[in-house]
Amino acid sequence: MWEIRPLRFRSVLYVAAALLFQPLAACSSESDTATAPVESSAEATPEADASAPAADEKLVVAFGDSLYAGYQLDPGQGFAPQLEAALDADGVPTRVVNAGVSGDTTAAGLQRLAFTLDGLDRKPDLVLVGLGGNDMLRGIDPQQTRENMTAIMEELTKRGIPVMLTGMLAPPNLGPDYRTKFESIYPDLAAKYDAPLYPFILDGVLGKGNLMLGDGIHPNPAGAKLIADKVAPQVEAALKR
């Protein structure tokens, strides 16, 4: 179980930045593509690695939205490659596949999940799921978000793939009822599916100008590295389960 209250102040900063933009653009440079059945962008296809994997190399899939995809960052600077570097530095040889798509809602993520998994060269040792932020910014009914996230967890469970969740917070302007319903999705699913949970993906980064892009929403390379370094120990523990 995790404590949400210490993180609420930082969520206010997130919303203050987000409200400067149209909700559909807050986590994407696209407009309506987040609700398309499958993104045609290269981001929607897992990054290929031509090198032969080491015998003890783990395969982790980072399946999420722009916070996973590395929005406006050069190759090697986003969350996925920096998580891979952090795991390797800790002596855990890992290939982290960037399956993040900017603008993805939970509905769009669910629609491309099977395609993403079927495109891999083998079954992952772990899938990180980081979706829901765009649902929240669009004001989508949390029940729909919960149903989509549950379907994602069910598909991964059916395939025998371990899961780790990274959570998101809702803004105060959406009201206490929305916040309660939205923010409870992540711990509820973590408990139901016995999945590790990193409560807030932007923890330690949000509101810090030296760690964020100019939009105040997405991490810059230094911010992505900090997130990866903070998430890595929990990923390592999940891989040992």
- The answer to which of 4-13, 57-66, 216-225 has the lowest mean pLDDT is 4-13
Residues 117-142 have a mean pLDDT of: 97
d(CA 60, CA 167): 18
Q: Please count the structural domains in the chain.
A: 1
Q: Which is catalytic among the residues 102, 104, 135, 218?
A: 218
d(CA 63, CA 195): 15
* Predicted confidence (pLDDT) at residue 132 exceeds the cutoff of 50: yes
Please report the pLDDT score of residue 46 as a whole number: 54
Residue 93 burial by Cβ neighbours in a 10 Å radius (0-12, 13-18, 19+): middle
Residues 74-87 have a mean pLDDT of: 98
Nearest Cα neighbor of 83 from 239, 241, 194 is 239
* Percentage above 70 pLDDT, the chain: 77
d(CA 193, CA 218): 29
Q: Is 51 a catalytic residue?
A: no
d(CA 213, CA 221): 9
* Predicted confidence (pLDDT) at residue 172 exceeds the cutoff of 60: yes
Q: Which is catalytic among the residues 66, 104, 135, 203?
A: 66
Q: What is the SS3 assignment for the chain?
A: CCCCHHHHHHHHHHHHHHCCCCHHHCCCCCCCHHHCCCCCCHHHCCCCCCCCCCCCCEEEEEEECHHHHCCCCCCCCCHHHHHHHHHHHCCCCEEEEEEECCCCCHHHHHHHHHHHHHCCCCCCCEEEEECCHHHHHHCCCHHHHHHHHHHHHHHHHHCCCCEEEECCCCCHHHCHHHHHHHHCHHHHHHHHCCCCEECCCCCCCCCCHHHECCCCCCECHHHHHHHHHHHHHHHHHHHHC
* Predicted confidence (pLDDT) at residue 67 exceeds the cutoff of 80: yes
Q: Is 66 a catalytic residue?
A: yes
pLDDT, the chain, mean: 84
Q: Which residues pair with 197 in a beta bridge?
A: 165
Nearest Cα neighbor of 60 from 37, 39, 79, 41 is 79
Q: Which is catalytic among the residues 90, 125, 215, 229?
A: 215
Residues 236-241 have a mean pLDDT of: 96
Residues 149-169 have a mean pLDDT of: 98
- CATH value at residue 86: 3.40.50.1110
* Predicted confidence (pLDDT) at residue 31 exceeds the cutoff of 70: no
Residues 6+ apart with CB under 8 A from 89: none
Give the global pTM.
0.82
| Helices 176-183/142-158 angle, 10° precision | 0
Residues 6+ apart with CB under 8 A from 216: 13, 16, 17, 20
Please report the pLDDT score of residue 138 as a whole number: 94
pLDDT digits (tens, 9 = 90+) for 192-228: 999 999 999 999 999 999 999 999 999 999 999 999 9
Please report the pLDDT score of residue 86 as a whole number: 98
- The answer to which of 32-41, 113-122, 186-195, 232-241 has the lowest mean pLDDT is 32-41
Question: Between 18 and 240, where is the model more confident?
Answer: 240
Residues 100-124 have a mean pLDDT of: 98
Q: Which domain holds residue 128?
A: 5-46+53-240
Q: Is 41 a catalytic residue?
A: no
How far is C-alpha 27 from the chain's CA centre? 12
